[in-house]
Amino acid sequence: MLVVVNAAGWPDVKQAFFDRDLFQESFPDIARAFLLNVKIFLIAEAVILVFALFIAVLRGLPGPVFFPVRVLATIYADLFRGIPTILVIYILGFGVTALQLPGVPVSELFWGTVALVLVYSAYVSEVYRAGIESVHPSQEAAARSLGLNRFQALRHVIIPQAVRRIVPPLLNDFIGLQKDTALVALLGVVEAFRQSQIDVSATFNYTPYICTAILFVAITVPLARFTDWLVARDRRRQLAGGLR
Amino acid sequence: MSDNGAALVLEDVHKSFAKLQVLSGIDLVLAEHEVVCLIGASGSGKSTLLRCVNLLEPIDSGRIVVHGEEVTAAGVNVNELRRGIGIVFQSFNLFPHMSVLENITLAPRKALGLPKADAQARADELLARFGLADKRDEYPDRLSGGQQQRVAIVRALAMQPGLMLLDEVTSALDPELVAEVLSVIRELAAEGMTMLIATHEMGFARDVANRVCFLDAGVILEEGTPEEIFGAPREPRTQQFLQRIVEAGRL
């Protein structure tokens, strides 16, 4: 901190990035645009949580009958983890909309969100899979021995335990997703990052970027603390009170 | 063979894991209300035998008939079959994310379709009977091993099974907790529950069993009343095994 403030170029940087008046001026616009990021994030996250679990379950189906399903799910996860996110956004956002297929939305916002869902579901499905595999086989044996079918054992016994274990890595991916909502700007959608670019090019001052950065952090930190609290509460409930 | 009236019939059951032959031709019949204890060294196939009965492990060849229905036949609904057979494991295997009550009511609600209130009433009745009423809202990790195992037994009983399989249910317990679990099993035996019990507790086997089977190298080497097996074993292997148990001070 002291090194930065005492650096030779600090006065220039201070003026270019931390202009108080400009900050106050651009904040309302960017905050309004940021609501779009939040919206993309919330919708994408809800879809990802369900879709990624579906993929993870498909990959875990046993027996030779489900071999093609496992292969397809694996190809999906490999493909969408392999392609850079930005390319998926371009390909879907510009490619699919240009097709002008009847009945298919032409909104860049829509396809940008779909791209994020596809990419992050691939990651999250792997997190789910690791969680499911971490639940000891004796739990499934106990559930099945009581007469629950495979789906019921997954639904009531395996997945609830898996999800509790993967909350921290899940949050990791969702913070990543939240930041990557800024990539949808590349399709021309005016979200917080795009709005700050517009403000920057109007004034040749970078303060709006700082404004955007603050907004992103302002939502990430409470989210992280909230999940910490959820995990701790659950642990308290399950474990003996005297420990730690 | 007259399967009729028998609770459980095993005919020439074989089971191997990869190259390891675990069961090499098991023949066993349990009459209704009979309690049979399986004894034998670790690795003699006791646990595998129990897991085969409710199809947690598929068998390689042979026949298993439960209450007159061949469970190893093709097209058997394994879920339906398992509802009639309770199994209790050495390591309890309670669901750690559910309270005691939820552990017990899960299968009656989801597998039998019992309304929540009925399932809870059934659970409360069983919990009260086995002295666990005050634990109904606790989570498994807050209970002692003995309490956890009793909850596991209650969980199996809540499905009202016609046959109980107990897989070394006291082996993971501290010695002072063994008695509370064994007394539950004695009570079940006294009520006429048909049970197949794999155990290392020879004193208990002598008390509770109608018949004792000594498993060795994947076959039932010797079977008889507890008096016969523990008093005058015929086979040298049985004598050897019991001798070691006596030396270890467990009989």
Rounded CA separation A112/A122 (Å): 16
Of B80, B83, B95, the CB nearest to A139: B95
Question: How confident is the model at residue B250, as a pLDDT?
Answer: 65
| Average confidence (pLDDT) over A188-192 | 86
Digit-coded pLDDT (tens) for A204-214: 889 899 999 99
- Judge whether A15 is closer than 8 Å to chain B, CB to CB: no
- Judge whether A237 is closer than 8 Å to chain B, CB to CB: yes
The answer to whether A194 and A183 are in contact (CB under 8 A) is no
Q: Give the HSE-up count for residue B3: Cα atoms under 13 Å, Cβ half-sphere.
A: 14
- Judge whether A241 is closer than 8 Å to chain B, CB to CB: yes
Greater pLDDT, B117 or A1: B117
Digit-coded pLDDT (tens) for B116-161: 999 999 999 999 999 999 999 999 999 999 999 999 999 999 999 9
Based on the number of CB atoms within 10 Å of its own CB, is B229 exposed (0-12), middle (13-18) or buried (19 or more)? buried
Measured between CA atoms, the residue of chain A closest to residue B104 is A146
Question: How confident is the model at residue B251, as a pLDDT?
Answer: 63
Of A147, A237, A239, the CB nearest to B107: A147
Q: Residue A239: is its pLDDT beyond 80?
A: no
What is the least distance, in Å, from the CA of B73 to any CA of chain A? 18
Question: How confident is the model at residue A234, as a pLDDT?
Answer: 81
Digit-coded pLDDT (tens) for A127-172: 999 999 999 999 999 999 999 999 999 999 999 999 999 988 898 8
**Helix, coil or strand: residue B168:** coil
Whose CA is closest to A230, among A164, A134, A132, A169? A164
8 Å CB contact of A241 and B142 = yes
Alpha helices (H) along B77-115: 78-83, 100-110
Q: Residue A5: is its pLDDT beyond 90?
A: no
Question: How confident is the model at residue A235, as a pLDDT?
Answer: 83
Measured between CA atoms, the residue of chain B closest to residue A238 is B139
Rounded CA separation A38/B12 (Å): 65
Interface predicted TM-score (ipTM) of this complex, two decimals: 0.89
Question: How confident is the model at residue B123, as a pLDDT?
Answer: 96
Query: Residue A83 contacts by C-beta under 8 Å, 6 or more apart in sequence?
Result: A119
> Which of the residues in chain B have pLDDT under 70?
1-4, 250-251
Write phi, then psi, for B138 (nearest 5 degrees): -80, 160
8 Å CB contact of A157 and B95 = yes
Digit-coded pLDDT (tens) for A67-116: 999 999 999 999 999 999 999 999 998 888 888 888 888 888 999 999 99
| Residues of B whose CB is below 8 A from A156 | 106, 110
How many CB pairs below 8 A link A and B? 70
Q: Residue A240: is its pLDDT beyond 60?
A: no
What is the least distance, in Å, from the CA of B39 to any CA of chain A? 23
Of A143, A164, A241, the CB nearest to B97: A164
What is the least distance, in Å, from the CA of B87 to any CA of chain A? 7
What is the least distance, in Å, from the CA of A47 to any CA of chain B? 25
Of B93, B97, B111, the CB nearest to A147: B111
pTM here is 0.85
The mean of the pLDDT values for chain A is: 90
Of B85, B93, B96, the CB nearest to A141: B93
The answer to whether B163 and B192 are in contact (CB under 8 A) is no
| Residues of B whose CB is below 8 A from A238 | 96-97, 139, 141-142
